[in-house]
Amino acid sequence: MNPPLQLSTEILELRTRHPFRISRKGPEPIRTVLVRIRDADGVEGVGEATPQLFYGETIESVHAALARYAAVLGHDPFDLEGIDTRMLLALTGNASARAAVSSALHDLVGKRLGVPVYRMWGLDPATIPLSTFTIGIDTPEVIRQKVREAAEYPILKIKLGSDNDLAILEAIRSETDRELRVDANCGWTVKQAVRMLPVLEQFGVTVLEQPLPAEDLDGLAVVTRHSRIPVFVDESCHVAADIPRLAGRVDGVNLKLAKCGSLREAIRLIHTARAHQLMVMVGCMVESSVSITAAAQVTPLVDFVDLDGAALLAEDPWTGATLAAGRLTLPTGPGLGLSPRGR
């Protein structure tokens, strides 16, 4: 029998062009864990774990989880379902660590077959929706500057949920008439959200994401009922099993690999959402092209894309999917088609 698959890690230090702030957390630095999985023939796949303190993950917890997952990889990289199951039996939670393993395995399998992962799944990258570009919370002056710098992006995603929401919207509209989507990152109460709805409409906002805390599903239903703008959840939805209780309460879900824990679960989540008449967005954390390119593989299946995580970086250590003028282009190389920058 072949020797077991080998897993190794490396820390990536990422810096954003501007300090990136959302309603609950402060600035940088951002550290992620690059995962490499190598098979007996020396074929290697890569993935990236982006730990989220909000979900109890740190660099240390990712390393500890990866040590457990490395022990259950087995010998066969094509055993994707089996490895996902064994990882969950070894240790639940730790979604970003599992997502890194899943991405690395898909990369490896695609390389062995000589096809990109999206081709392996029969998906057409020509159908990928345009991606948003995110403007984090800041002073009106800095926000105006960020909007000018983001001139190439046709759709902006605005972070609200601070004390300055109105000033932020005014600053943005003083610069641009582009499409705006809003993410409040759990920052409002039901009362605040309902009060904000006509304001958002007046500013021409087209999507409202996670207005309320994650667990307030009844509150989300109230906001959705009052809203003419589609209401999406992000923090309230991690895996496919979360979908049934969201159905009828919101209009859509934001899927992220760092929350759902694997590419296979991402596809299950998309199909479950569809079966419950929910729209799907694919989103990301602030992370390198490794994670963005992995998430990008499922984008031909969704309605909205928000994969600007690597575009927010001052320097991206990898190259893969590119984002130009909001258009996401997938690499044509086998697996995830990634290369270290400069090589």
Q: CB nearer to Mg ion: give 125 or 187.
A: 187
Q: Does 138 engage in binding with Mg ion (CB under 5 A)?
A: no
DSSP line for 24-36: S-----EEEEEEE
According to the 3-state scheme, what is the secondary structure of 234-284? CCCCCCHHHHHHHECCECEEEECHHHHCCHHHHHHHHHHHHHCCCEEEECC
Tell the smallest beta-carbon distance from residue 78 to Mg ion (Å): 33
CB of 232 to Mg ion, least distance (A): 8
Neighbours of 158 (CB within 10 A): 25
- Binding part of the chain for Mg ion, among 52-60, 182-190, 199-207, 263-271 by CB under 5 A, reads 182-190
Residues binding Mg ion: what is the number (CB under 5 A)? 2
Q: CB nearer to Mg ion: give 48 or 183.
A: 183
CB closer to Mg ion, 120 vs 217 = 217
Report the phi/psi class of residue 261: left, alpha or beta, with left for phi > 0 and alpha for psi in -120 to 50: left
Q: At closest approach, how far in Å is the CB of 86 from Mg ion?
A: 30
- Among the residue ranges 69-77, 107-115, 156-164, 180-188, the one whose residues contact Mg ion (CB under 5 A): 180-188
Q: What's the CA gap between 343 and 334, in Å, rounded?
A: 16
Four-point Cα dihedral 244, 301, 204, 186, nearest 10: 40
Token reading at 135: 């403007």
How crowded is residue 124: how many other Cβ atoms within 10 Å of its Cβ? 9
* Residue of closest CB approach to Mg ion: 234
List binders of Mg ion among 193-252 (CB under 5 A). Answer: 234
Does 308 participate in binding Mg ion (rule CB under 5 A)? no
Token pair for 187 = 């920052």
Closest to Mg ion by CB, 138 vs 234, is 234
183 is a contact residue toward Mg ion (CB under 5 A): yes
What's the token pair of residue 304?
A: 């909205």
Pick 234 or 316: Cβ nearer Mg ion: 234
Minimal distance, residue 312 CB to Mg ion, in Å = 14
Instruction: Compare residues 54 and 203 and give the one whose CB is closer to Mg ion.
Output: 54
Beta carbons of 280 and 304 less than 8 angstroms apart: yes
Distance (Å, whole) CA 183 – CA 6: 39
Contacting range for Mg ion; rule: CB under 5 A; set: 54-62, 169-177, 181-189, 271-279: 181-189
Q: Which residues bind Mg ion (CB under 5 A)?
A: 183, 234
